[in-house]
Structure 1
Amino acid sequence: MTIAAAIESRADAPARSRSSRIARVDLISDLGAVETIWRELETRQLATPYQRFDLLSTWLADVGQREGALPCIVTARDDADDRPLFLLPLVLRRHHGVRIASFMGGKHTSFNMALWDKDFAREATGADLAALLAGLRAHNAVDVLALTQQPRHWQDQLNPLAMLPKQRSVNDCPVLTMVPDDPPTNRISNSFRRRLKSKERKLQAPGYRYYVVNNETDIERLLNWFFRVKPMRMAEQKLPDVFAEPGVADFVRKCCHTRLPGGGHLIDIHALECDDEVIAIFAGVADGHRFSMMFNTYTMSGRSRYSPGLILMRHIIDHYGERRYRALDLGVGSDDYKRLFCKGDEPIFDSFIALTSRGKLAAMAMSGLNRTKRLVKHNGFLLGLAQRLRRTFR
């Protein structure tokens, strides 16, 4: 079966005419040329907060370009009024002569999506996806689309790219679903709350407080602490420190300091501290519907024995529950602490689509590698073996 046929045969594609509304597909390498369209789609978007222009343009300038990534923004316009229907925020890299387009943000975005006009996304069909691929092939600028870590749904609406051939992502994403106006005990049980409050009493000291950081001086102070403590935590776990990679600290700092028009920051920091030390911070992105954690760490002092990260998570969950949020996640991966709060899983998928004959072998290789990684991650014996090998070689 061809890719186009596979797209058309999707059972969950909306029942609409097979003719596509897409009149033109453009590839744009200048971020400035696409900023107006991007910000317009943000105002009527179906996309995650990771796809905000300010966040991804900062990542590209501070991290992506250092890695050799070049902007490759895909836009599609309506056949009736030339209105932008969606925007794919991609970058282009070359590996062994193969041109691979992937989402901006790299390892710093938990979820990747296009920015969709909501009305178009609700009605998009397989014919629209086929028109997108045909338009990309006509440009002959990309060999493979490597579109990873995509949510199947966002805000209860199907992600149209889920109509492309796909496979499950390497990692799952535990998620907590919240119902507005539910009592707090529906988010976190009474028994768990009592255990956390018992631990929290042992943390309390002069000036003890939980808060969402809004003061620019506090943001910088807490980030200085984070970049000092996080490498020690990563070394303790024998894990690489991704925040030490070139440009990452600058990217994080700029996003934490950038204010959103409606309040808050591109990345919000939640903190527990007392007068004599910072105890824990969790930071992430929020959009009025969902909070997604990006990074966290906690103190190296004796207070670490009282589970400050879990206590901070309880505060964060109540904070967003009181604001009628509907979901909260702690990033991809099934770490034990995430399962204490997040009982469900967000379906996440990858698509590896060859656009040229040169890209066919590369797409097959990337697809096979990710399937193997998922197999290892979800098999206790293989995962343990891989972890022992990693520690040995380090």
Structure 2
Amino acid sequence: MTISSEETLEHPASFARRGARGTTARFRAGYEARLAHAAGITLYESFEAAEPVWRAFEARAAGTAFQSFDWLSIWYRHVGERLGIEPAIAVVTRAGEPLMLAPLGIERRFGLRRLVWLGGRLADYKGPLLAADFEARLDGGFEALWRQIRRALPRHDLVMLDSQPVSLGTPSAPLGNPFAVLSSSPAPDAAYVFDLPSTFEEFSQRYRAETRRIDRSKFRKLDAAGEVTFRFAETAEERVAMAEDILSRKAAQLAAQGISSIFGEADYLAAWRDLAALPEERTLLEVAELRLDGEFLSGSIGHVWRGRATLMVHTYDPEMLPKLSPGRLHLLKLLQSSIERGTGTYDLSVGYAAYKESFCDTPMEMRNTVAGTSLAGMGAAAAIRTGLAAKRRIKRDPRLMGLVQRVRAALA
């Protein structure tokens, strides 16, 4: 059977638990649970229980930093736990070696139990960590494995797996995301990921000669305006301080456009601070600033993971030399630095912006899986799919999107 977001998934069986909640892996009684265990599936109810296998596996697995133990455990400590989300972290093994880790959870909302990816709004990409040879070692197809995983999961009314990239690899070495095949419904936004060449000069040849000339002219004018500094935070203390300033500026920038964001929410800010404060050997965030005579021009927060740099937050001061496009100059500095350090892939993350298309010719599709597993869940799934389809239509129609932006600005 092929599972899609338009089909109703079978209702997971409910089993009695054995063992203390949140301290060990979940083991359930019953025939279907024994089948799942025999299939090499272990379900963990807590981050503490999953940490050893998670950290060992992520060191060699394919995926994104948004599925790393540090990223998701910090999110859960500050956000997920407060929301009452119950971890349901599924680890699939073959011949005693992890094949896949799926960081799932059960979220209660509007009286329904929803199966979701962990990470909430702090994760641009959601999905599993995979062994590099996942496809070769997977026997019986992913649909069969997914049915086995669902047998091990707690009861839920609705499957709501959003923000799933179709590939967990790179443009030159794609690795299909098996969860993306559960749905044929594209998400409202695409992602902008591209490979980097060995030199910045080679990279700059990707855009028109006139664009290169304008960029060089703006760099010269900026240098002539005063002392220009572009630097990365070098210590945890600097990362925290710079990140807090950039997030504050980004929140204000979005609020002026009538857009609410996580950047001003206390729980999410606490999570950002903890990510920035990770010790050097586990550093994830890369925080940078562009300044003129000490005055802020532009700032960014990103991360580097397995040779892939991802830009998550980028903001600039609209009052400071807008004709010189400091935001673009900042991004060019980031790209040049990434190339010089040997980074192979750059990721401008999810969501349309005109400047992204100038760097990435082929956006990567994102998919959502929405399906009911109970009568109440079926109705909710139909409503959610309708809403997502409307959102996708608006975002892909410049006239409708322009209307939305004007309304937001008027209400701000």
Q: Which TM bucket (shorter chain)?
A: 0.7 to 0.9
Higher deviation after alignment, 226-235 or 342-351: 226-235
Segment of structure 1 superposing worse, 216-225 or 46-55: 216-225
Q: Deviations over 1:203-262 (max 9, x none)?
A: 33554222222233432332343244233322332222421123111111221222463x
Note the C-alpha offset of 1:38: 0.9
Work out the CA distance in 2 between the residues paired with 1:82 and 1:340.
Answer: 46
Q: Following superposition of structure 1 onto structure 2, how do residues 137-286 of structure 1 map, counting pairs within 5 Å?
A: 137-155=151-169, 156-180=174-198, 183-204=202-223, 207-259=227-279, 261=281, 265-286=283-304
Q: Distance in 1 between matches of 2:219 and 2:397?
A: 35
1:29 aligns to 2:48 (yes or no):
no
- Is 1:360 paired with 2:374? no
The structure-2 alpha-carbon separation of the partners of 1:112 and 1:22, relative to structure 1 and needing over 3 Å to count, comes to farther
Cα deviation digits, residues 159-199 of structure 1 (max 9, x gap): 22233233111101233332345823335554323312322
Structure 1 residues 255 and 122: CA distance shift in structure 2, 3 A: farther
1:101 paired to 2:121: no
Shift of 1:86: 1.2
- Which structure 1 residue ranges, 5 or more long, are not aligned? 8-19
Counting only pairs closer than 5 Å after superposition, residues 74-85 of structure 1 correspond to structure 2 as 74-78=90-94, 81-85=95-99
Q: Against the structure 1 CA distance between its residues 139 and 290, is the aligned structure 2 distance closer, same or farther, given a 3 Å change threshold?
A: closer
Task: Measure, in 1, the Cα distance between the counterparts of 2:137 and 2:259.
Answer: 44
The separation in 2 between residues aligned to 1:355 and 1:26, in whole angstroms, is 22
> Do the aligned partners of 1:50 and 1:285 also contact (CA within 8 Å) in 2?
no
SS in 1 for 2:231: strand
Distance in 2 of aligned mates of 1:53 and 1:166: 29
Q: Alpha-carbon deviation of 1:138?
A: 4.9
Consecutive aligned runs of 4 or more in structure 1 exceeding 6 Å deviation: none
Q: TM-score, normalised by structure 2?
A: 0.82
Q: Which residues of structure 2 form unaligned runs of 5+?
A: 8-35
The whole-number CA distance in structure 1 between the counterparts of 2:284 and 2:306 is 13
Higher mean C-alpha deviation, range 29-38 or range 354-363: 354-363
Q: Quote the offset at 1:47 in angstroms.
A: 0.8
Aligned to 2:3: 3
1:393, distance to aligned residue in structure 2 (A): 5.4
Give the number of equivalent residue pairs.
377
1:121–1:160 Cα contact (<8 Å) kept: no
Aligned-residue RMSD, C-alpha: 2.8
Give the conservation status (yes or no) of the 8 Å contact 1:143–1:354.
Answer: yes
Q: Is the 8 A contact 1:179 1:324 kept in 2?
A: no
Aligned residues with identical type, % of pairs: 27
CA contact (8 A) 1:22 1:128 kept: no
Tell me if structure 2 keeps the 8 A contact 1:199–1:306.
yes
State how far apart, in whole Å, the 2-side matches of 1:93 and 1:41 are: 26
